[in-house]
A and B are shown apart, each in its own frame.
Chain A
Amino acid sequence: MTTTAEPTTEIGRARVRKEDQRLITGRSRYTDSITPSGTVHIAVVRSTIARATINSIDKSEAEKAPGVFGVYTAADLGAEEVGLPCAWPITPDQKAPQRPVLANGRVNFSGEGVAVVVARSAAAARDAVELVDVDYEPLDPVLDMEAAAQDGAELVHPDLGSNVSATWVFDSAAAGTGGDVSEAIKAAEADDDQIVVRRRFRQQRLIPAFMEPRSCVVDPTGEQLTIWAATQVPHILRTMTTVTLGVPESKLRVIAPDVGGGFGGKIGVLPEEMLCVLLAQKLGKPVKWTETRSECMLTAHHGRDQIQDLVMAVRKDGTITGFDVHLYADMGAYLGLVGPGVPILGAFMFNAIYKMPALRFTCSNVFTNKTLTDAYRGAGRPEATFAIERMMDEVAVELGRDPVELREQNWIKHDEFPYDTVVGLTYDTGNYEQATQRAMELFDYAGLRREQEERRRSGDPVQLGIGISTFTEMCGLAPSRVLGSLDYGAGGWEAANVRMLATGKVEVTTGASAHGQGHETAFSQIVADKLGVGFDDVEILHGDTQVAPKGLDTYGSRSLVVGGIAIVNAAEKVIEKAKKIAAHLLEASEDDIEFANGQFTVRGTDKGKAIQEIAFAAFMAHDYPEGMEPSLDSDAVFDPENFSFPHGTHLCAMEVDTDTGRVNLRRYVCVDDIGNVINPLIVEGQVHGGLAQGIAQALFEEANYDESGTLVNATFVDYTLPSAADLPSFTTETVSTPSTTNPLGVKGVGEAGTIASTPAIVNGVLDAVRHLGVTEIEMPTTSQRVWRALQVAKGHQAQQTPSDTHSPGAGLGSIDPNNPKGEVQ
C-alpha cells in the first residue's frame, strides 16, 4: 500500500481495529465457548460410504452407554419429511431432491448424517456414536460429473430421472445484448484471418476450511428459542429455520457471536442446526453441537468443482469476436442454500474487462455422490475469471503476442465508461490502463521478461514464468430486481439503524454480520464522519436478530457497498431530524441551519448546537417542534441500483525447477481499483487473505475422492492449506476510480484477491515451461504435476500413480515412483 499523509477525515484512515482488543486477549466468544447450564451435547453418526441403502440401524448399545440421553434417527424425530432449503431455483424445472436432516433409508455421500446421539458431554456423545451399528447395502457411487450428465448414467436420485439438476443458458443474441456466438465461431472457422481456440479447464474441488469449526447451541429455556451459531447469515438462518421446521419466525432469535471465518462456507442452513432445534424442543434443554475438523472437511459444503469447455473466436489481429462457455458444475449429492446459483454468479463475468461482441454461457448442474458444493470466496466469479484469463494467455500464445498487449487491445478503455457489456451489465467506472501500468512498474515487467529470456537461452534448470491476470468482478450482492430476474429466493438490500443516545454516544445496528472483516471499525469511521462524532463514540451492533432485527448478512463483498450505504442513509435521516430540532431550539429557519463536523449552526451567526446537545434535547423532549416525534433515531434499507465493479492487475513471477518440478512463487504484485477506501489497513488485510486463498487453489489445495467416493484428505494433515512458510510477502497497492453506483464511491474488496490470483499463478507456471513443450497443467500445479508434464513433454513415460490421481502430492503416503526425488510441497 502507498503510504500517504493521514487524512483528516475518519474515512481513509488506517485505523487499527476496535475488534482486536478482545481477540488478542482471549476475551472472545465463539459459539463453542457458549454453554448454558444444563446443556446436552450431540454427535452425529455419519455414513462411511458414499452411496448405500440402509438395511438397519442398531442403537441399543449406544443407548445403554453412560451419559447418553438418547439416540435418534429421522423417523424417531418425526423429521422424515423435513428438507433443508435451497433458495435458488435457477430454472423453473430445476430438479431438487429432498435434503434430509438425517438419511432416510439411503445415504448419498460419505459423511451424511444417519443418526444423532444426545449425551451429557461431547465426549460421551462421540463415544456412543461408535456404538451405533448401521448395516449398509453399498451401491456404486456416481463420482464423475461429466459421465453423470450423460443419458443412461447411474442416477444419484433415481426418482428425479436425471443427474442433471438444471441447465441454465445465457445467450447474448437471445438477450439482445450482443451477437450470436455460433455464427461468430462458424465465421471464424471459415475465415483464414481468424482462429478458433478451444480449451478445457478444470476447477478442482476446494474446501473453504475456515479456522473455527461449525457449531451451534439452541436454548429453548425461554419464550423464544435462542440459536447461537457459527454462521455468516443469522438473519437468513432465522427465516430459513421457520421455512424448514415451521417454528414461527417471531419465536426465534439467532445470534452469530464471534465467528471464526466463513469465506462462503458458513452461509448454509445445516442439518445439524435443525437437529439442535428439534432436539432442544423435544428435550426442553439447551442442545449443543460442535463438529470436529474432520467432520468439517467431510460435510461442510465444498467449493468450485467445474469442468469448463471454452471456445473463443479471435481475429488474427487479436480482436475477440465471440466466446462460448460450457460448464459442468458438480453440485454434490444435494443442492445447497444457493449452490445452484453459484456458477450463475459467474455467468456475467466471462467477458471480464474485455469488449466482446457475442457470448454464450451454458451450465449444467450435476448431482454426484459427493459432499454438496456451494459458495466459496468469489462464488462463480473466480471460476469465470480463471477461464477468461487463462484463455487470454492461450490466445496470446496462439497468435504469438505479448499477453499484456493482447489484453489491452481488447479491454474497455478508461474513456469508454460507463460501458454496457455483452451480458447486459453496465460497468460504471474503471481504469484498466492505470492499474496495469502501475503494476508493471512495481513488478519490473520488462526486467523480468529479460531475465526470462536469459534463463531460456542459457538453459537454466530453474525457468522463470510471468503470470498475468487483469480481472474484474461484480460485487455488492445485489440489486433486488436483478436477483428477482435470476429467480433468487430473496432480495439483496441491507438494513441499518442509527440511534443517538441521551449521553451523546451513537449506536448503530447493521444487518451485515461480520466474521473477521472489521465492520465495527470501518462502519464506525463512516458514522464518525457523517455525524461528526468521535470514532470511539460509535458502537456497531450486529449478528443478533433481536439487536439488529433486519438484514441479509455478509457474503458477496456486500457489507460495505450495500450495508455501509444503508448506514450512511440512516445517518442522513438522523441529521435531517436533528436539523429540525436545532432550528427550533436556535429559533431559526430550518433553511438557515448548516451542519458540519457535528455542529448545527445558523448561517451567518455564531449560534450553534452540537449534535449531542440535540440528541439530549430530543431525549428530554421538553421543547421540540410541533408535529415531530422526540427522537433522532432512524432506519434505512438500501437496495442498490447496480453492482460495483472493482478491478485490478495482478502479476506474478514463478520459478519452476525443471529437474524436480518444484514451483516457487518469487514475486507477486497487484494493483487493485476498489474505488474509495474507508480503511486502507483493512483493505490490505482483505487483499492479502484473498490472495492466499486464490494462490492456494493454484498451487496447493484439492479435495480428493477415491474410486469408492471417500474423501481421502479430510484432515489438515492431508488437505494442504498454505502455512506462513509456503507464501511470500505480496506487493499490494490500490488506485481509485470511485464507483458511481453508491454515495461513498466504494467497491467491494473481500473477494478480489481470490478471484484474481488463481489464473495469474497458473499462467505464470505455464509461461515458465511452455517453451519446453508443456501446454497444460491442472490445478493444483504441484511439483508432481509439473514434473510429470515436463516428462511427458520430453516424450518420457510418466505413469499416473493411483495415489497421485487423488492427491495433490501432499500429506501422507503420496510417494510417486515417477518422482524418486520425492519433491513434496
Chain B
Amino acid sequence: MTEVRVTVDGVNYADDVEPRMLLAQYLRETLGKTGTLIGCDTSNCGACTVSLNGQSVKSCSVLAVQADGAEVTTIEGLARDGTLHPVQEAFRECHGLQCGYCTPGMIMAAVDLLGDNPDPTEQEVREGIEGNLCRCTGYQNIVRAVQSAAKTMKPGAAQPTEQAAPVAGGGN
C-alpha cells in the first residue's frame, strides 16, 4: 500500500492504495465518484476522462499514486455553485448525448480542447475529441455542442462568467 494525497473536486483526500490501482478505480471505488465511467481496458474510449492539474487525462491510464499531490476535477466538480459549465449546458442544448455513458469523458475532453483552442473549426473539434468514443450520437451533435460552447465562452459573449471558464484543476 502506498499513500496518495489528492484533491478531487475541491476536497482533499489521503488514502492508502495498492500501487497498481488506477486513478479511475480510485475515483469510483475508493471515493465513490461514480460520475466518472469506465468503458474499456485499452485506453481507447475516453469515458474515464478527467482533468489532472488542468490537463485532460484518461484516468484509466494513470495510476492513483501518480496523482499524488495533484488536483483532479471530474464531471461531478465541473459545475460551480449550481451553475453548469458552458460545455455541459451546450451538450444539453444541442442534444449531444443519448445514453450518457460517453458524456462525462466527452465533456471533460471538450473542456480541455476549448482551453487549448477557444475557437475550433468543425474538423478541429472532430480531431480534438478523436480519443473519445460515442456509440449513440454519430458525433454530429457533440461537435455542434462543442462549437456552441466555444461561442458562449468567447470573451465578451453574453453568458460566460469567470467562474465558468475552462477548469484548470480543483473544484472551488
In-complex Cβ contact of A685 among B39, B79, B141 (8 A): B141
Which of B39, B98, B132, B143 interacts with A518 by CB under 8 Å? B98
The answer to whether residues A715 and B44 also contact, given A25-B75, A26-B76 and a CB cut-off of 8 A, is: yes
Please report the C-alpha to C-alpha distance between residue A359 and residue B40 in the assembled complex, in whole angstroms.
44
A727 to chain B: which residues have CB within 8 Å?
126, 138-140
Chain B proximity mask over A287-300: 1 for CB below 8 Å, otherwise 0: 00000111000000
Interface string of A251-285 (1 = CB under 8 A from B): 00000001111010000000000000000000000
Contact with A along B86-119 (1 / 0, CB 8 A): 0010011101011111111001000000000000
Pick the residue among B38, B92, B107 that contacts A32 (CB under 8 A).
B38
Give the residues in chain A near B140, CB-CB below 8 Å.
Answer: 688, 727, 729-730
Contacts of B79 in A (CB 8 A): 25
- The answer to whether B28 and A717 touch across the interface, beta carbons within 8 angstroms, is no
Question: Interface residues of A: mostly helix, strand, loop or mixed?
Answer: loop
> A260 and B100: CB pair below 8 A?
yes
B3 at the interface (CB under 8 A from A): no
Q: Check: B6 CB closer than 8 A to any chain A CB.
A: no
- Residue pair B28, A211 in contact (C-beta under 8 Å): no
- Residues of A within 8 Å of B16, CB to CB, are none
B52 in the interface (beta carbon within 8 A): no
Tell me if A446 counts as interface (CB < 8 A to partner B): no
A716 and B34 in contact, given A213-B39, A258-B100, A516-B99 (Cβ under 8 angstroms)? no
B32-64: CB near A (< 8 Å → 1, else 0) gives: 011111111110110100000000000000000
Which of B38, B45, B101 has the most A CB atoms < 10 Å from its CB?
B101
Residue ID in chain A nearest B47 by CB atoms: A211
Measured between beta carbons, the chain B residues less than 8 angstroms from A26 are 33-36, 74-76, 78, 104
Q: Residues of B contacting A688 with CB < 8 Å?
A: 137-141
A17-55 toward B: CB 8 Å interface, digit per residue (1/0)? Answer: 101111111111110110000000000000000000000
A692 at the interface (CB under 8 A from B): yes
Report how far A723 CA is from B140 CA in the complex, Å.
Answer: 11
Partner of B42, one of A23, A690, A691, A716: A716
The CA of A517 and the CA of B99, in the complex, are separated in Å by 7
**Which of chain B's residues have a CB closer than 8 A to the CB of A724?**
125-127, 129-130, 132, 134, 139, 142-143
- Minimum distance in angstroms from B78 CB to a CB of chain A: 7
Taking the closest CB of chain A, its distance from the CB of B51, in whole angstroms, is 13
Expressed in whole angstroms, the Cα–Cα distance for A516 and B136 within the complex equals 8
A633 at the binding interface (Cβ < 8 Å): no
Identify the interface centre among A22, A30, A517, A688: most chain B CB within 10 Å of its CB.
A688
Also in contact, A716 and B99, with CB within 8 A (given A24-B88, A688-B137)? no
Q: Is the pair A725, B97 in contact by a Cβ cutoff of 8 Å?
A: no
Cβ-based interface call for A531 (8 A): no
In this assembly, does B84 line the interface, its C-beta being within 8 Å of a C-beta of chain A? yes
Are A689 and B84 in contact, with the CB atoms below 8 A? no
Separation of A705 and B1 alpha carbons in the complex (Å): 41
The answer to whether the Cβ of A212 comes within 8 Å of any Cβ in the partner chain is yes
Say yes or no: A25 contacts B42, CB within 8 Å.
no
Q: Which of B1-37 contact A (CB under 8 A)?
A: 18, 25, 28, 33-37
**Contacts A715-B41, A724-B125; A25 near B84 (Cβ below 8 A):** yes
Contacts of B103 in A (CB 8 A): 23-24
Contacts of A20 in B (CB 8 A): 91-92, 97, 100
Number of residues in B with C-beta < 8 Å to the partner? 55
CB within 8 Å for A723 and B88 given contacts A26-B36, A26-B75, A211-B102: no
Q: State which residues 70-86 of B face A: CB under 8 Å.
A: 74-76, 78-79, 84
**A16 on the B face (CB < 8 A):** yes
Interface presence of B133 (CB below 8 A): yes
In the complex, the answer to whether A263 meets B135 with C-beta atoms within 8 Å is yes
Contact flag A685-B95 (CB < 8 Å), given A211-B45, A293-B42? yes
Residue with the greatest number of chain A CB neighbours at <10 A, chosen from B36, B38, B125: B38
The answer to whether B129 and A261 have CB atoms under 8 Å apart is: no
A247 at the interface (CB under 8 A from B): no
Q: Which of B35, B84, B143 has the most CB of A within 10 A?
A: B35
Question: Is A99 close to B, CB under 8 A?
Answer: no
- Give the distance to chain B from A119, nearest Cβ to Cβ, in Å: 14
Q: Evaluate whether A293 and B40 lie within 8 angstroms (CB atoms) in the complex, with A685-B137, A724-B143 already known.
A: yes
Is A209 engaged at the interface, CB distance under 8 Å to the other chain?
yes
Contact of B41 among A21, A293, A753 (CB under 8 A): A293
On chain A, the residues within 8 Å of B36 by CB distance are 26
- Given known A211-B47, A691-B138, A730-B140, contact A260–B101 (CB-CB < 8 A): yes
Cβ-based interface call for A681 (8 A) = yes
Contact indicator B137/A689 (Cβ below 8 Å): yes
In the assembled complex, which residues on chain B have CB atoms less than 8 Å from the CB atom of A693? Answer: 135
Identity of the chain A residue whose Cβ is nearest the Cβ of B125 in the assembled complex = A724
**What's the nearest-Cβ distance from chain A to residue B163, in Å?**
16
**Interchain CB contact (< 8 A) of A716 among B25, B35, B40:** B40
Q: Which residue of B lies closest to A259 (CB)?
A: B99
- Alpha-carbon separation in the docked complex, A690 to B140 (Å): 12
A222 to chain B, nearest CB (A): 23
Verify A24–B91 contact, CB threshold 8 A.
yes
Set B34, B74, B76, B139: member contacting A692, Cβ < 8 A = B139
Residues of B within 8 A of A690 (CB): 138
The answer, yes or no, to whether A721 is at the interface (CB within 8 Å) is yes
Q: Are B76 and A25 in contact (CB under 8 A)?
A: yes
- Contact A517 B130, CB 8 Å, known A292-B41, A730-B138: no
Interface residues of A in 216-263 (CB under 8 A from B): 258-261, 263
Task: Give Cα distance in the complex from A518 to B35, angstroms.
Answer: 19
Q: Which of A16, A28, A730, A753 makes the CB contact (< 8 A) with B95?
A: A16
For A521, the closest partner residue in chain B by CB is: B95
| Contacts A209-B135, A730-B140; A28 near B127 (Cβ below 8 A) | no
A689-B135, A724-B129, A729-B122 provided; 16 other pairs, C-beta below 8 A?
A19-B100, A24-B91, A25-B76, A25-B78, A26-B75, A26-B78, A259-B99, A293-B39, A516-B99, A688-B137, A692-B138, A692-B139, A693-B135, A716-B44, A724-B126, A727-B126
Could you list 29 A-B pairs, sorted by A, with CB under 8 Å?
Answer: A23-B103, A25-B75, A26-B78, A26-B104, A27-B76, A30-B34, A32-B38, A33-B34, A123-B18, A210-B135, A211-B45, A212-B37, A213-B38, A292-B41, A293-B45, A516-B136, A681-B95, A688-B138, A688-B141, A689-B138, A692-B139, A717-B42, A721-B135, A723-B132, A724-B139, A725-B130, A727-B138, A727-B140, A730-B140
Q: Which residues of B contact A (CB under 8 A)?
A: 18, 25, 28, 33-42, 44-45, 47, 74-76, 78-79, 84, 88, 91-93, 95, 97-104, 107, 122, 125-127, 129-143
Interface, chain A (partner B; CB < 8 A): 16-17, 19-30, 32-33, 123, 209-213, 258-261, 263, 292-294, 515-518, 681-682, 684-685, 688-693, 715-717, 721, 723-725, 727, 729-730, 753
Which 6 residue pairs across A and B have the least CB separation, nearest first? A26-B35, A516-B99, A260-B101, A23-B100, A688-B138, A692-B138
